[in-house]
Amino acid sequence: MTHSDPSRRPPGRRTLRWIEECCGLGSTVRVLRPLPGGGHVNHAVVVETGAGSVRTLVLRRWPRPADEDAHAIAAEFSPEREIAALTLLAGNGVAAPPLVAADPSGAYTDAPALLLERLPGHPPRPTSNDLPVVLIQTAAALLPIHAVRGASSMPHYVPRIAAEDAAPPPRATRPDVWERAAEIAAGRAPDAPARFIHCDYQPDNTLWAFGALSGVVDWSEVSCGPAAVDVAVMRLHLGLRYGLPVADHFVEIFDQVSGGYVHDPYWDVRVALDALPCGADVLDEAHVMLHEAFLGAALARLGAAATG
């Protein structure tokens, strides 16, 4: 991505004027604050409308196509994809941010942009006491997501990295684990019904207020694919942050709330490989070892299933 990418600079007057026009005659942007994290550039926006009311919004911006680094921002991470996802989600009982306005080509702004209602809350940082609540609510929140109709209109799930391109990260301590994982990923994926899936369903993409899940954000990777992808992504992040027993407990809870679910470790292997390409070169040895422990446990389960 080039340094001239306008989405990486503070929103200019052109973008602020677009926000104000979207909120109605006489509206004024009063607060503009960058939000941390994520592959997109997000800003919290407070707008005072001409009628005197206050709206709290989020401005999400994408690099212009000419400014994209092909290895950092894949074509599927498009504003059009998130617009389609949010349109399908509206009215389906999913706690997703409502879409206020969109300028996917950047015709009226300094970069392709979406304007969303800002949901209350913040990403979870649970203690051991409230972690069970987080697991239960994040598991239950997957049910309405996977039940959204129109999944077939979304792009089909495609792994971020091809199995033949998977390689042990620079600080790998167990290259054999990575090589075996690549062999598994190169095989045929388990058969599973296609569902509407988030594809990056992890704790940092959930919001919490007063101990309750208040929203799920970042819908730019929504796909039509196996529900197990979302379960595996959450398992990976829980395992890396809290340990493998917590990741295993999440599957047990999802099994309970869904009325019956058997998790195939193939998907743990697949998503663990996909999680590394963008940042493998900067992971320290401790983080690489956590990934290896997660992959090793998945491979052990696959081996046990094959011999059992």
pLDDT of residue 38: 63
For position 182, which CATH number holds?
A: 3.90.1200.10
88 and 159 within one domain: no
Domain boundary among 116, 147, 164: 116
Per-residue pLDDT of the chain (308 residues; tens, 9 = 90+): 444 667 678 899 999 999 999 999 999 999 999 998 666 799 999 999 999 999 999 999 998 766 545 434 445 578 999 999 999 999 888 999 999 999 999 999 999 999 999 999 999 988 878 899 999 999 999 999 999 999 999 999 999 888 788 888 888 889 899 999 999 999 999 999 999 999 999 999 999 999 999 999 999 999 999 999 999 999 999 999 999 999 999 999 999 999 999 999 999 999 999 987 555 555 678 888 899 999 999 999 998 877 76
Q: Is residue 3 part of a domain?
A: no
Q: Is residue 85 part of a domain?
A: yes
pLDDT of residue 158: 93
Domain boundary among 61, 82, 116: 116
| Nearest-angstrom CA–CA distance, 137 and 11 | 35
148 and 43 within one domain: no
Domain boundary among 88, 116, 144: 116
Q: Is residue 210 part of a domain?
A: yes
Q: Please enumerate in sequence order all residues whose Cβ is within 8 A of that of 228, keeping only pairs 6 or more positions apart, or say none.
A: 190, 192, 263, 264, 267
226 and 272 within one domain: yes
241 and 192 within one domain: yes
pTM: 0.91
Count of the separate structural domains present in the chain:
2
What DSSP assignment string belongs to 126-174? Answer: --TTTHHHHHHHHHHHHHHHHT-TTGGGSPBP--SS-GGG----TT-S-
As given in the structure block, the two tokens for residue 214 are: 């208040």
Taking alpha carbons only, the member of 2, 30, 36 closest to residue 111 is 2
Q: Is residue 227 part of a domain?
A: yes
242 and 98 within one domain: no
Q: Is residue 253 part of a domain?
A: yes
Residue whose structure tokens are 């929203």: 215
244 and 103 within one domain: no
**Helices 175-186, 285-307: inter-axial angle, 10-degree rounding:** 50
Please give, one letter per residue, the 3-state secondary structure of 9-64: CCCCHHHHHHHHHHCCCCCEEEEEEEECCCCCEEEEEEEECCCCCEEEEEEEECCC
Q: Is residue 236 part of a domain?
A: yes
194 and 89 within one domain: no
Please give the residue range of the domain that contains residue 174.
Answer: 130-302
pLDDT of residue 71: 37
pLDDT of residue 170: 82
Characterise 18 by phi-psi region: left (phi > 0), alpha (psi -120 to 50), beta (else): alpha
Q: Is residue 122 part of a domain?
A: no
Taking the CB of residue 234, how many other CB atoms lie within 10 A of it?
26
135 and 91 within one domain: no
Q: Please enumerate in sequence order all residues whose Cβ is within 8 A of that of 53, keeping only pairs 6 or more positions apart, or say none.
A: none
204 and 233 within one domain: yes
282 and 232 within one domain: yes
DSSP letter, residue 118: P
258 and 172 within one domain: yes
298 and 245 within one domain: yes
pLDDT of residue 74: 45
Q: Is residue 125 part of a domain?
A: no
